[in-house]
Chain A
Amino acid sequence: MDFYLTALLQGLCFSALALGIYISMKIFNIPDITTDGSYTLGAVITALLIKHGEPTYVTLISVVLAGGLAGALTGIIHTKLKINALLAGILVMTALYSVNISIMGTSNLPLINLSSLFTLINISANLNYNTFWILSIFVIVITLLIGYLLKTDFGVSMRATGNSESMIRSLGVNTDRMKITGLALANALTAVSGYLVSQQQGFTDISMGIGIVIIGLGSVIIAETLINWLKITSIWLSLVLVLGGAIIFQLVLAITLDIGVNPNLLKIVTAAFVLLIVSLPRISFRGSQND
């Protein structure tokens, strides 16, 4: 049971990342893979500041700013230098590896027995349950903030930027600035996932971000499949489904390990699972389209 609880905790940690990918991929329609770098950046800064004894809110603010900066950089390269978003993301992600290893000074930093977000308050004597409650509150607050933002005039402009650029420009929005802000927001959220995961697992590793983008993509794709099936138009429900997607994703991986699949095969299982989710709507509707 503890095994599945850990998976649930991981899912909650990754829900910030999933919201970030939802913003870049679904709201802005930009394939952004700065993720691998900004996630690790968040974890590295968390480890360093916790080691240094900084309070957790200082750590959180620093992580948000650093992630935002990384995303803004991708946004500037993409909009001002007119470089393909995918390439812009790869460039920043690659550069961030050097940044991360330089500021951390080592490839692995353990955080055992140090105060963290999850030791901040004691809701339950069991460490895992305590982590669960704190994580849940944290994720709910983030979701409420993002949901509110998307409902504001600024948020509606964000959604229109990814949907009809010519329209929103003619309505007086600087779309370049909007995309830079959006990518900054997305990567700030991604960095927050790094902040959560490093504290939850108790260490930061330089390679922890490799391939992490697939977790965000997978979660968003699960959510999107459900959104399309259930014909959901509400922003709030969509965000909740994205959170659900992140948790389902981790649970599927946990089940895979539980039934005895070799952990080395986990990445191929992940890829196959995302492929399955993406192709599911097409497979099931094929019959009706062909006649």
Chain B
Amino acid sequence: MIDINSVNKTFNTGKPNQVNAVSGIDLHIKSEEFLVIVGANGSGKTTLLDMVAGSVFPNSGTINIDGVDVTKLPDHRRSKWIARVFQNPLSGTASDLSILDNFRLASIRTKKKGLSIGINDTFKNQVKEKISTLGMGLENKIEQPMGTLSGGQRQALTLLMSVMDSCKVLLLDEPTAALDPRSADIVMRTAEEIVRDYRLTSILITHNLKDAFTYGNRIILMGEGTIVKDLDAHQKLALKQTDLYDWFG
């Protein structure tokens, strides 16, 4: 599904503050694989994810998604495959727009945003039905601005928004880092359900080792821009939570 071939990314090349964020990474992610990436700050996790999303371009190497070379495609042209949940709840939703407007945009992620009015009663009901699956009582607030909701509610909605339109790859960049434990739990469980129900290929970056242990069927540890450990589904099952803590010891 996602093929990353000898990708390099260096920031501030030739300057005293040069950073080799990602050095020669080869990574092949199969369809429906749920990959968890852990690693210390500055190990290149987010840069790698940004390169898959298209918001950062590699200096060398190629990235293929679903057999298509997307190395030079900007983020807005990769949206036909990729949906994304950001670390900051504010980045994944538009605060001043209503919940309904946000969902409308998400529902035409892979399509043209044309000059017709897309929000009608059928669409409203569809959104209400979808939101009610969260059990947060938000289905009666769809006309409210997104900004009136809490971070946890917004992240949960962002997850739902990602499957409003056809989606193959879900990128989760520390989606629960800014949330309280209870909201974090709801968001992660929603994510897992969506990944399973829609059979998505997913990448989760997390600093929460409990989540890294609980979720996903493959885990890699990154360090200084390279892959240090790579455990497949079988090996991950055999992994103990304490082993994970030892990786950072």
Contact A172 B97 (CB under 8 A): no
**Shortest distance between the CB of B240 and any CB in chain A (Å):** 36
Count chain B CB atoms within 10 A of each CB in A154, A172, A233 and give the residue with the most.
A172
Q: How far is the CA of A174 from the CA of B117 in the complex (A)?
A: 20
Contact B114 A152 (CB under 8 A): yes
Contact B114 A171 (CB under 8 A): no
The stretch that binds B, out of A98-106, A121-129, A156-164, is A156-164
B109 at the interface (CB under 8 A from A): yes
Contact A168 B94 (CB under 8 A): yes
**Shortest distance between the CB of A166 and any CB in chain B (Å):** 4
**Shortest distance between the CB of B70 and any CB in chain A (Å):** 14
Contact A170 B53 (CB under 8 A): yes
A153-B116 contact given A166-B86, A167-B94, CB 8 Å threshold: yes
Chain B residue contacts of A153, Cβ below 8 A: 104-105, 108, 113-118
Q: How far is the CA of A163 from the CA of B90 in the complex (A)?
A: 10
Q: How far is the CA of A152 from the CA of B104 in the complex (A)?
A: 10
**Shortest distance between the CB of B6 and any CB in chain A (Å):** 26
**A interface residues, tally (CB under 8 Å):** 23
Contact A174 B97 (CB under 8 A): no
**Other-chain contact of A175, B76, B79, B94 (Cβ < 8 Å):** B76
Contact A163 B109 (CB under 8 A): no
Contact A164 B90 (CB under 8 A): yes
Chain B residue contacts of A164, Cβ below 8 A: 90-95
- Closest residue on chain B to residue A177 by CB atoms: B76
B185 at the interface (CB under 8 A from A): no
Q: How far is the CA of A168 from the CA of B113 in the complex (A)?
A: 11
Which chain B residues numbered 101 to 160 have a C-beta less than 8 Å away from chain A? 101-102, 104-106, 108-111, 113-119, 143, 145
**Shortest distance between the CB of B100 and any CB in chain A (Å):** 9
Q: How far is the CA of A71 from the CA of B86 in the complex (A)?
A: 32
Count chain A CB atoms within 10 A of each CB in B76, B110, B116, B143 and give the residue with the most.
B76
Chain A residue contacts of B241, Cβ below 8 A: none
Contact B106 A171 (CB under 8 A): yes
B98 at the interface (CB under 8 A from A): yes
Contact A172 B79 (CB under 8 A): yes
Chain A residue contacts of B143, Cβ below 8 A: 233
Contact A170 B93 (CB under 8 A): no
- Closest residue on chain A to residue B111 by CB atoms: A172
Q: How far is the CA of A175 from the CA of B74 in the complex (A)?
A: 11
Chain A residue contacts of B102, Cβ below 8 A: 160
A65 at the interface (CB under 8 A from B): no
Which chain A residues numbered 120 to 149 have a C-beta less than 8 Å away from chain B? 148-149
Contact A173 B91 (CB under 8 A): no
Chain A residue contacts of B113, Cβ below 8 A: 153-154, 156-157, 173
**Shortest distance between the CB of A51 and any CB in chain B (Å):** 35
Contact B105 A152 (CB under 8 A): no
Contact B115 A154 (CB under 8 A): yes
Contact B75 A152 (CB under 8 A): no
**Shortest distance between the CB of B134 and any CB in chain A (Å):** 19
Chain B residue contacts of A157, Cβ below 8 A: 105, 113
Q: How far is the CA of A148 from the CA of B114 in the complex (A)?
A: 12
Which chain B residues numbered 32 to 85 have a C-beta less than 8 Å away from chain A? 53, 55, 74-77, 79-80, 82-84
Q: How far is the CA of A115 from the CA of B143 in the complex (A)?
A: 48
B193 at the interface (CB under 8 A from A): no
Q: How far is the CA of A207 from the CA of B143 in the complex (A)?
A: 46
Q: How far is the CA of A151 from the CA of B100 in the complex (A)?
A: 12
Chain B residue contacts of A170, Cβ below 8 A: 53, 75-76, 79, 82-84, 92
Other than the given A151-B119, A172-B77, A174-B74, 12 more pairs (CB < 8 A) read A152-B115, A152-B117, A153-B115, A156-B104, A157-B113, A160-B97, A169-B75, A171-B105, A172-B76, A172-B109, A173-B76, A174-B77
What are 5 of the A-B contact pairs (CB < 8 Å)? A156-B101, A156-B105, A160-B101, A167-B91, A170-B82
